[in-house]
Amino acid sequence: MEKKAGINTVETAAKYVFTVCAVIAILAVCSITFYMIAKGTPAFASVGVPELLFGTEWKPTAEDAKYGILYIILSSIAGTGVSVLLGVPIALLTAVFLTEVSNKNLAAIVQPAIELLAAIPSVIYGLLGLMLLNPVMYRLEKLIFAASETHQFTGGSNMLSAILVLSVMILPTVVNVSASSIRAVSKDLRAASLALGASRIQTIFKVTIPAAKSGIMTGVVLGIGRALGEAMAINMVAGGAVNLPLPFNSVRFLTTQLVSEMGYAEGTHRQVLFAVGLVLYVFIMAVNLTLQKMRKGALDDES
């Protein structure tokens, strides 16, 4: 009888321990959200919402300090947008190759290659961008702006380099998600299309991809999230000036602003950096919520 009571205590204790483990995820999300808001909002009060969000001047250490982060926000949006536009078609065609075109042997080379691309640390992408991409950009820059008197030369650290690095970095995410959603398309659909006389390519682009659309869109949104949140790699290739997001301008993103200035910022400057973090967090949460809504929608469609 006594033993039985002991077992029951252990069973109850185990249940509580497991519950606590599961609740930690909730605690983490809540406290991250709380801290981002608590630390990010004071700057909006001290600098002013329009001055902060729509100001175009960033002079945190000047006598008359200016904390406008509009260009930083625009750079993040433009950089993410263009890199997704560039990376997604390549990723989608690679996914088509893996699932519809390739034979087993070739897929056995391409699939692991994609997985390994995903595993490469972002600092290595940054290092390669710095050593290989930036010199090419500098040569292009010298050619294009040879006659310009207003252009500030960046030595090749520019928006374009960051976009190229980002589009490579989102590739594996989009390929994997797209490939698995293309694989999930029913064989009957393809067979029906082929039986109607459509070629394989027509079937892929007119039947299979439209059928896998929601899964592919999920991949694209995941890619947007990744590009938006990437920090170290693009910090190494994008230069360090707060500028309009033009291809050959040295630019700052929301993430790189944090990486490069958090180490030494003080006072209001530091507060504003937390506000930059909050803006980034809001963007990321919007992407996350869209993603979860899409996934839920996909589940509802299936059932």
Partner 1 sequence: MNHENASSLKKKRMRIADSVLYFLIYLCAFLSVMLLAGIIVYVLMRGAGTVSLRFLTSVTSVLKGTVGIAGNIVNTLMIILLTMLAAAPIGVGAAVYLNEYAKPGRLVSVIEFATETLSGIPSIIFGLFGMMFFGQTLGLGYSLLTGSLTLLLMVLPLITRNTQEALKTVPDSYRSGAVGLGAGKWYTIRTILLPSSMPGIITGVILAIGRIVGESAALLFTAGSAKTLPKTLAAIFPKIFQSGGTMTIQLYLSATSEGDFDTAFGIAAVLLLLVFVINLAAKCLAAKFDVTRKK
Is the Cβ of residue 24 or residue 195 nearer to partner 1 in the bound state?
24
**Binding positions for partner 1, 218-237, rule CB under 8 A:** 225-226, 228-232, 236
**Binding positions for partner 1, 89-148, rule CB under 8 A:** 89-91, 93-94, 96-98, 101-102, 106, 109-110, 112-117, 119-124, 126-128, 130-132
Would you give the binding string for partner 1 spanning residues 152-181, x where CB under 8 A is met? Answer: ----------------x--x---x------
Question: Does the protein bind partner 1 through residue 239 (CB under 8 A)?
Answer: no
Least CB distance from residue 249 to partner 1, whole Å?
20
Least CB distance from residue 272 to partner 1, whole Å?
13
**Binding positions for partner 1, 43-62, rule CB under 8 A:** none
Piece of the chain touching partner 1 by CB under 8 A; list 46-54, 140-148, 187-195, 201-209: 201-209
Question: Does the protein bind partner 1 through residue 255 (CB under 8 A)?
Answer: yes
Is the Cβ of residue 103 or residue 150 nearer to partner 1 in the bound state?
103
Quick one: which of 148, 152, 214, 288 contacts partner 1 (CB under 8 A)? 288
Least CB distance from residue 163 to partner 1, whole Å?
16
In the block, which residue shows the tokens 């029913």? 186
Least CB distance from residue 146 to partner 1, whole Å?
28
